[in-house]
């Protein structure tokens, strides 16, 4: 079952990329805000186009619950323990300008636990996938975290304000290189694929990440041999509550995370 669902999502994400490429060529402004989503963020034409397509296609094929950034939580059919957790556009600020680094992120949960993760880069088409217990893959090739002892390349969630900037400046000095891309699902996948050493989305001023941002990528990370925690070095446990936000940090080892966080 898991393999069939994963293959369906791989194909679905490819079709979504084609549809959004057409939207960008149409002359319609994809960045225009049209409503507010259930997750609390403003909904753009790009978000709505992507979500409507995904929800329609998934709900036609599976009895399930869908949790999504704009829709919120909705049941489709009865007596299913499958939940699809969707971020139609991870990195909306990038996506609505058709800048690199924006993605679609889809996790499949069974009894509340992620069993499938699919993250497709909607700019270059790269696709990261994982099925629980079967490893993680980039474009069909197996990936693993890079085993490093030092903070070679650290990726940050953008600092928000006040103490966030103080934290960012302090921790950035520990790294040989830093990047801010603005799309959490892809940034987690960069760690999974060994492109980055550590990803920090810790914000002393205001926690930001929702389950739709990390549910799929977190499984890909763990299947690639990585480890993730919240800002208090506790296991991430929320994969179903859309409005519950968390800090998030991941790397190849707990030792690297502790080295990054220590004063």
The single-letter DSSP state of residue 246 is B
> At the topology level of CATH, where does 153-261 sit?
D-Maltodextrin-Binding Protein; domain 2 (3.40.190)
**Pairing of the two strands 82-90 and 141-143:** unpaired
Residue 137, strand partner residues: 129, 142
Q: From CA 100, how far away is CA 164, in angstroms rounded?
A: 25
Domain assignments of the chain as residue spans, ordered by start: 2-143, 153-261
pLDDT given at position 39: 56
pLDDT given at position 221: 98
**Cβ 13 vs Cβ 127: under 8 Å:** yes
pTM score, two decimals?
0.95
Task: Tell me the DSSP string of 155-212.
Answer: EEPPP-STHHHHHHHHHHTT-SEEE--S-HHHHHHHHHTTS-SEEEE--SS---B-HH
Chosen CATH of 2-143 out of 3.30.930.10, 3.20.20.370, 3.40.50.10490, 3.30.540.10: 3.30.540.10
Closest-CA residue to 185 (of 117, 95, 255, 231): 117
Q: From CA 202, how far away is CA 73, in angstroms rounded?
A: 26
Q: From CA 88, how far away is CA 198, in angstroms rounded?
A: 24
pLDDT given at position 236: 93
Closest-CA residue to 225 (of 256, 179, 246, 200): 256
Q: What are 180's two structure tokens?
A: 């801010």
Residue 60, sorted as left (phi over 0), alpha (psi -120 to 50) or beta, turns out to be alpha
pLDDT given at position 144: 98
Note down pLDDT in tens along the chain; length 263 residues: 899 999 999 999 999 999 999 998 988 888 787 766 555 567 789 999 999 999 999 999 999 999 998 889 999 987 688 999 999 999 988 998 888 999 999 999 998 899 999 999 999 999 999 999 999 999 999 999 999 999 999 999 999 888 899 999 999 999 999 999 999 999 999 999 999 999 999 999 889 899 999 999 999 999 999 999 998 899 999 999 998 999 999 999 999 999 999 98
Which residue in the block uniquely carries the two structure tokens 């920090």? 200
């Amino acid at each position: 079952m898991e393999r069939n669902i994963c293959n369906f999502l791989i194909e679905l994400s490819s079709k979504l990329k084609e549809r959004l490429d057409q939207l960008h060529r149409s002359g319609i402004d994809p960045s225009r805000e049209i409503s507010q989503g259930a997750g609390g963020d403003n909904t753009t034409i790009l978000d709505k186009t992507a979500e409507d397509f995904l929800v329609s296609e998934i709900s036609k094929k599976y009895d399930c619950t869908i949790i999504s950034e704009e829709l919120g939580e909705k049941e489709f059919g009865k007596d299913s323990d499958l939940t699809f957790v969707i971020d139609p556009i991870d990195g909306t600020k990038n996506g609505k300008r058709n800048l690199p680094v924006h993605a679609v992120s889809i996790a499949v949960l069974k009894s509340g636990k992620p069993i499938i993760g699919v993250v497709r880069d909607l700019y270059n088409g790269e696709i990261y996938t994982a099925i629980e217990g079967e490893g993680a893959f980039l474009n069909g090739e197996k990936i693993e975290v890079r085993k490093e002892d030092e903070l070679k390349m650290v990726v940050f969630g953008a600092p928000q304000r006040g103490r966030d900037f103080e934290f960012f400046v302090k921790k950035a000095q520990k790294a040989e290189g830093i990047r801010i891309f603005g799309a959490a699902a892809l940034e987690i996948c960069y760690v999974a694929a060994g492109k980055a050493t550590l990803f920090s989305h810790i914000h002393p001023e205001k926690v930001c990440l929702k389950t739709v941002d990390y549910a799929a990528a977190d499984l890909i990370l763990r299947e690639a041999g990585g480890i993730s925690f919240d800002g208090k070095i506790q296991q991430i446990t929320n994969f179903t509550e859309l409005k519950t936000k968390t800090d998030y940090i991941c790397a190849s080892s707990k030792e690297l995370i502790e080295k990054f966080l220590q004063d």
